[in-house]
Amino acid sequence: MQFFPSREIFLQIGDNIHIAWYAVLILTGAFVAYLLSYYFFKKMKYPTTYLDDLLLIVLWAGIIGARLWFCVFYDLSYYLNNPLEILAVWDGGLAIQGGFILALIAAFIYTKVQNLSFLRLADAIAPTVLVAQAIGRWGNFVNQECYGFEVEASYFDGILSFLKDGMYIGGHYYEPMFFYESIGCIIGFILIVFVLKRFQNKRGDLLWAYFLWYGLIRFFIEGHRADSLMIGPLRMAQVTSIIYLLVGLLGYLGLFEKLFKRPKPTVLFDLDGTLLDTQNGIIESYDEVFKKHGKEDLFTDEVKVEVLGPTLEEIFQKYIPEVDTETLCEEYRLHNNAIFAKVNKPMKHATKILEYLHNNAYHVGIISTKRHETIKKNLELFKLDSYVEEIVGCDDVKNQKPSPEGINELLKKKKWTRDELVYVGDSVMDIKAGQNAGAYTVGYLFNQKKEAALKQAKANEYIDDLLKLKDILNEGGHFTFDRS
């Protein structure tokens, strides 16, 4: 095994196996783009599992597209007569524009299958492609590709001197067009992510900006290249660059918006204190358990407010840790089930808002710290079950709210959109869970004693009547925690 046995080879293993610098740099660029996209996904509160899937799909589609584009426009007859040579990527010959086009198509199909917003994900990923391209262009330097017209040796005096030896090709010096494109890509990334993003008006703006920027710099670069792929008398990359510029401009002007139909928001609710007025039943059931174990003095007015939201396990482990938690939970549930129908009722206008959502084709689900079967029985008891399509209880997930696991699992199971997502709840825990899932959160102000704490959670909106949710849904804008 030998590192750097030649200019083009990164690693030689035996006589027949080698890893080219070109491949190393392409993969390095892809990895850096992945890390940047990972950071943007985290900021969006997006499950990074989608990014992992996309990376594999886009990487392979990009390589295939870039190679086929090169083969078609470099010397199609040669590759048709020597089809195995199409696979020889290690010898160089990848056309970035072809790679991006096929990768974009693959990503579009993936987002449709997963019911994700293509434009929102493209805004997060497309700018990072510029960084990948900037790094990948150095593979052209290693292979002595992507060069311009012949120049004098003095051209490399000063800041470009480190490129001089590499640009000496066939007894002449050439302009390092790969270098100029690499720098142009980095500048584009900085402008799009740190400047344009601050003024973004709609989804897709960053994607269209990528098309505009890369189309512009690639058109300029190709005009100076001495080794361009040609289609008749035309430089193929310049033709493609003009298409890029047109697509970017038309997209930025909003002409493609009808192609990306915006779905209605998915609407998820908490149960206790949001759709059902179960406060009295919860407090009475806790009071019964505290009294049974001689802890009634701990069940103060402050604790009676505290128990409205957290899981049974959290409360009992905090206040009665010396008794088996599961035993306490069963005692609570037995009492709560016995009194449930007598002391509980639907919240004011809960039936009306659920009926409205159902009649207007909104997807509706419930995420609760109650058990799945208990949620189901509660909904059936108050005849709300026909309006709710999916429920997730405490026994369906490992991590309870404020973890977004329940929300994420429900969306994944039903393949409902997460890019237009509203979560309604009455506790800080509910709001945090919604925020952690990237949802547009609505705090329901039912209990005045919880109002101050709930407002500190900084939900996107607060309502004191569930019917006001109709106005929020009809007001427009994107339903994500940051409106992106």
- CB atoms under 10 Å from CB of 83, counted, come to 9
Count of beta carbons in the 10 Å neighbourhood of residue 184: 21
Q: Which of 123, 270, 277, 430 is catalytic?
A: 270
Q: Return the structure tokens found at 478.
A: 């994107």
Q: What's the CA gap between 90 and 93, in Å, rounded?
A: 8
Find the angle CA(48)-CA(53)-CA(55) to the nearest 5 degrees: 90
For the record, the structure tokens of 347 come out as: 């919240």
- Whose tokens are 């404020």? That residue is 402
Write the Ramachandran bin of 348: left for phi over 0, alpha for psi from -120 to 50, otherwise beta. beta
270 has catalytic annotation:
yes
For residue 398, the Cα-to-chain-centroid distance in whole angstroms is 22
Q: What is the DSSP secondary-structure string of 70-128?
A: HHHHHHHHHHHH-GGGGG-GGG----HHHHHHHHHHHHHHHHHHHT--HHHHHHHHHHH
User: HSE (CB half, 13 Å, CA atoms) of 260?
Assistant: 19
Total number of residues shown for the chain: 484
Q: Please answer whether residues 274 and 444 qualify as being in contact, where contact means their C-beta atoms are separated by less than 8 angstroms.
A: yes
- Rounded-to-integer distance, Cα 374 and Cα 291, Å: 24
Cβ neighbours for 36, distance < 8 A, ≥ 6 positions apart: 127, 128, 131
Cα–Cα dist 23/25, whole Å: 5
Reported as half-sphere exposure (CB side, CA atoms, 13 A), residue 223 has a value of 8
Which two three-digit tokens encode residue 377?
A: 């029985």
Q: How many CB atoms lie within 10 A of CB 474?
A: 8
Structure-block tokens of residue 407:
């929300």
Residue the block writes with tokens 């004693």? 449
- Residue indicated by tokens 């494109």: 181
The C-alpha atoms of residue 96 and residue 94 are separated, in whole angstroms, by: 6
8 Å CB contact between 484 and 44: yes
Under 8 Å between Cβ of 134 and 29: yes
Q: Interhelix angle for 312-319 vs 325-343, to 10°?
A: 120
Catalytic residues: 270
